[in-house]
Amino acid sequence: MKIPEPGDDYRTAAPSQVRHPAQQGVTYRPAPNPDDAPLDITRRSPDDLYDPEVMYSPTINALIERLLGYMPGASEELVRRAYAVAYSAHLGQKRQSGEDYINHPVAVAYILLEMQADAGALAGALLHDVVEDTPVTLDQIETLFGSEIAHIVDGVTKLSVLDMKDKEEAQAGSYRKMFIAMADDPRVVLIKLADRLHNMRTLQAKEAAKQQRIARETLDIYAPLAHRLGIWKIKSELEDLSFKILNPQKYREIAFQLMLRREVRERIVQRVIARLKQTLAEENIEGGITGRPKHIYSIYRKMERKGVSLDQIYDKLAVRVIVSTVDECYRVLGIVHSIWTPMMSEFDDYIAVPKESMYRSLHTTVIVPGDIPCEVQISHPRNARSR
Ligand code: MN
């Protein structure tokens, strides 16, 4: 594994240092004169560019299967072609961990699958580093994939140039850019957040000082952004990954305590979920129900804010229900309130009074057996699928 140098980016080498496969003659036909003529993959024959072995590799087949699972009419072909082009463009590049670079855009696409992103978002995710890190240009992306996909890739590329110098200025500035990009196409910000999440998950490959800087930036900028968009899962993971790097001792302490209590909590959550599932089935409402994973950083913040120990934290359980319409959200709310007693002071209607969020949601807290408060979030995805 290559030891990262100070000033290195996330990638193995700066784009200028990366020898493109075309220049190595590995897969591409070499351009007649690489110094004069920039590589133009649009000139390659479709047979060459869309190699069936790549287009139908197990990696992409698995991804397509998941996509079609929640979006049967999605453009499989678009995603397969995006993968083939990204694969060719990144061929020969490695991440700092030593693995092939293409694993990174694929991992980003997998994160988007969890948010039930559409084919355009997945294609954008697969291509998100191509313009920045390979000789392939935005014009070529547009020629191959049309203006919509080119627009997404361009948005992500522009956001990745955000360089954090002065923290305050950077925060305000990047927020602005993020939101301009989002207003334009929410998929740009989704991809950017998924990109940051995967980079955080693989941060061990970097040197300590750099890990600290990136973790700080994630906590200051990306986690609040995910919060404002209501993408809770990404937000909490970004926070916990950052916290683990910035305050490893405290992280371990809380994680250990939670581990001790986990069994009891999990048993209760599972019982709540089972009861809810059964009732929704009886009412013919199809919904995904999940228990919310433990979020260490938010517990730490609460301890700091209230100046209390972990034992004194009001230990709320949480369950999330995702249904497909607003109407069903309210029906589920009625069902939840009829099964368990609600704490009326803890009710928020973010459907009637929306916040800047990717989700329309209802938050309520009910008392479940054992006299334990359990927050139930009922939502339906609004923007995650498409614009
Ligand atoms: Mn990336």
Cβ-based burial of 307 (10 A; exposed 0-12, middle 13-18, buried ≥19): exposed
CB 207 within 8 A of CB 245: no
How remote is the CA of residue 368 from the centroid of ligand 1, in Å?
43
How remote is the CA of residue 157 from the centroid of ligand 1, in Å?
9
When comparing pLDDT for 199 and 172, which is higher? 199
Question: pLDDT tens-digit profile of 188-242?
Answer: 989 999 999 999 999 988 899 999 999 999 998 899 888 878 788 899 999 999 9
In this chain, the answer to whether the domains covering 15-246 and 257-381 adopt an identical fold is no
The answer, yes or no, to whether residue 288 has pLDDT greater than 90, is no
When comparing pLDDT for 101 and 206, which is higher? 101
| Alpha helix segments (H runs only) across 283-295 | none
pLDDT band at 251 (very low <50, low <70, confident <90, very high): very high
What are the DSSP calls for 13-47, one per residue?
Answer: S-GGGSPPHHHHTSSSPPPS-TTTSPP-GGGS-HH
pLDDT mean over 128-143: 94
How remote is the CA of residue 51 from the centroid of ligand 1, in Å?
24
The answer, yes or no, to whether residue 116 has pLDDT greater than 60, is yes
User: What percentage of residues in the chain have a pLDDT greater than 90?
Assistant: 47
Residue 50, C-beta contacts closer than 8 angstroms, at least 6 positions apart: 80, 81, 84
Catalytic residue among 8, 132, 220, 348: 132
How remote is the CA of residue 129 from the centroid of ligand 1, in Å?
5
Place of tokens 């100046």: 307
Q: Determine the pLDDT at residue 130.
A: 95
Question: pLDDT tens-digit profile of 294-303?
Answer: 578 888 887 8
The pair of structure tokens assigned to 104 is: 């990174």
Residue 379: helix, strand or coil by DSSP?
strand
Question: pLDDT tens-digit profile of 333-385?
Answer: 999 999 999 987 778 888 888 766 666 889 898 998 878 888 898 988 764 44
Architecture in CATH for domain 257-381: 2-Layer Sandwich (3.30)
Among the ranges given (85-94, 118-127, 181-190), the one the predictor scored with the smallest mean pLDDT: 181-190
Residue 286: helix, strand or coil by DSSP?
coil
How remote is the CA of residue 369 from the centroid of ligand 1, in Å?
45
pLDDT band at 35 (very low <50, low <70, confident <90, very high): very low
Long-range CB pairs of 213-216, under 8 A, 24+ apart, other chains included: 213/164, 215/241, 215/242, 215/243, 215/245, 215/246, 216/242, 216/246
pLDDT band at 29 (very low <50, low <70, confident <90, very high): very low
The pair of structure tokens assigned to 353 is: 């009074």
Amino acid identity of residue 313, one-letter, is: I
Catalytic residue among 118, 133, 154, 195: 133
CB 107 within 8 A of CB 120: no
pLDDT mean over 140-154: 95
Residue 386, C-beta contacts closer than 8 angstroms, at least 6 positions apart: 118, 120, 121, 187
Task: Write b or e for each residue in 210-227: b if 16 or more Cβ atoms lie within 10 A of its Cβ, otherwise e.
Answer: bbeebbebbbbbbbbbbb
Active site residue 132: yes
Q: What are phi and psi of 12, to 5 degrees?
A: -60, -45
Least Cα distance to 317 among 256, 283, 276, 360 occurs for 276
The answer, yes or no, to whether residue 259 has pLDDT greater than 90, is no
pLDDT band at 16 (very low <50, low <70, confident <90, very high): very low
Distance CA 212, CA 203 (A): 10
Q: Determine the pLDDT at residue 293.
A: 57
Distance CA 328, CA 316 (A): 25
- The domain locations on the chain are 15-246, 257-381
pLDDT mean over 116-135: 95
Distance CA 199, CA 205 (A): 10
How remote is the CA of residue 128 from the centroid of ligand 1, in Å?
6
Distance CA 122, CA 185 (A): 14
Active site residue 133: yes
DSSP bridge partners of 349: 362
Distance CA 194, CA 196 (A): 5
pLDDT band at 291 (very low <50, low <70, confident <90, very high): confident
pLDDT mean over 58-73: 95
How remote is the CA of residue 73 from the centroid of ligand 1, in Å?
27
How remote is the CA of residue 367 from the centroid of ligand 1, in Å?
43
Q: H or E element: which one contains 381? A: strand 372-381
Residue 29, C-beta contacts closer than 8 angstroms, at least 6 positions apart: 22, 44, 48
How remote is the CA of residue 199 from the centroid of ligand 1, in Å?
7
**What is the residue-averaged pLDDT of the chain?**
81
Q: H or E element: which one contains 91? A: none
Say yes or no: domain 15-246 is CATH 1.10.150.80. Answer: no
Number of H helices, E strands in the chain: 18, 6
The answer, yes or no, to whether residue 78 has pLDDT greater than 50, is yes
